[in-house]
Amino acid sequence: MKRRDFINKAGAGAVIAGSTLLTPSLVHAKTKYKWKMVTAWPKNFPGLGTGANLLAKMINEMSDGRIKVKVYGAGELVPAFEVFDAVSKGTAQMGHSGAYYWKGKAAATQFFSAVPFGLTAQEMNAWLYYGGGMELWRELYAPFNLIPAAAGNSGVQMAGWFNKEIKSVDDLKGLKMRIPGLGGEVLRRAGGTPLTIAGGELFTALQTGTIDATEWVGPYNDLAFGLHKAAKYYYYPGWHEPGSTMEAMINKPAFEELPKDLQSIVLAACKAVNMDMISNYTARNNQALDTLVNKHGVKLMPLPDDVLKTLKQLSEEVVLELANKDPMSMKIYTSFNQFRSQVSQWSSLSEQAFLKARAL
């Protein structure tokens, strides 16, 4: 009887010990996380806003509801240009925006959105995922309590909407244009006045003459904003944004609080949305362009070659000056520039050569 009692007690102890060992993982599995995502885009705006919505939806579904992300459009919780601070401070756990908006925080952030005459969407993803770009981005954001991730790309954008024809470089002098990031500094060197204005304010600014021109994204988004009603000249190519990456920024303490499987889900969702957005823009841009030109009578025009050559020369100066600002900027510039030189050779032999052949 004593032997039987001992065995029973030992078995019960093992069960209790086993239960104790399992408790932390069971608690993790049952814990629900409620996150806020603030964005730099108008609520539900096509492409950009819906991209943020899709990211939240994927995280919700992939985690089986263990993380519930609520999306706030620009101005709902914080203004468009306060997304960085809100996530850094933990007011929101996530943000969705463009990194060049934060050049006042760290000048090198601009390398992770769009560099004039830089990388296309495909090339940008290659640098981020397989060329060391993502590691540098995370190093840059670490002091701000943030973890960045690529979460969308618009592809090559349009040069923008103008209320007058651009026939030479002289036409850029005195031009007041909404154009952020490095492209804005290039315009300044060309004699223009760059302004940073939130997307939701562009139409009114252009219509009232506060600005003479604006770039936004491309036909899909520009049609949604009705920019064709405020300016009739629509120029290409988007020299300033050849492959604009959208970012998801994540509050580091909030991310580290998650169990490993949920951390992987958040990052995998960002990567999936990154691919989805460029596919969406590629599918819809020409449909929107057809509407703008054939229904609304928009004048679609190429920027003159001499204008593009001047802008390219100025861009090289601006980017090199950015690189020389501090050691981190130079570190990122060196990686970016070396990768661009390498990938450009292959792109010329593959993408560029094929597109030329297809046009014959």
- pLDDT higher than 90, residue 312: yes
- pLDDT higher than 70, residue 322: yes
Residue labelled with tokens 């990768």: 339
Distance CA 36, CA 83 (A): 11
**Average of per-residue pLDDT across 72-90:** 97
What does pLDDT average to over the chain?
93
- pLDDT higher than 70, residue 17: no
- pLDDT higher than 80, residue 5: no
**Average of per-residue pLDDT across 129-133:** 98
pLDDT of residue 8: 53
pLDDT band, residue 27 (cuts 50/70/90): low
Q: CATH number of the domain that 103 lies in?
A: 3.40.190.170
Tell me: the pLDDT tens digits for 162-208?
999 999 999 999 999 999 999 999 999 999 999 989 888 999 999 99
pLDDT band, residue 26 (cuts 50/70/90): low
Report yes or no on 349 lying in a domain: no
The count of structural domains within the chain is 1
**Average of per-residue pLDDT across 78-85:** 97
pLDDT band, residue 25 (cuts 50/70/90): low
Report yes or no on 189 lying in a domain: no
Report the percent of the chain where pLDDT is more than 70. Answer: 92
Report yes or no on 126 lying in a domain: yes
Report yes or no on 94 lying in a domain: yes
- pLDDT higher than 80, residue 18: no
Q: How many CB atoms lie within 10 A of CB 247?
A: 29
pLDDT of residue 199: 86
pLDDT of residue 42: 92
- pLDDT higher than 90, residue 293: yes
Report yes or no on 166 lying in a domain: no
Please give the residue range of the domain that contains residue 79. 31-154+243-282
Is omega for the bond preceding 237 within 30 degrees of 0, making it cis? yes
pLDDT of residue 63: 98
Report yes or no on 52 lying in a domain: yes
Report yes or no on 16 lying in a domain: no
How far apart, in Å, are the Cα atoms of 346 and each of 340, 342, 349, 351, 352?
Answer: 10, 7, 5, 8, 9
pLDDT band, residue 291 (cuts 50/70/90): very high
Report yes or no on 331 lying in a domain: no
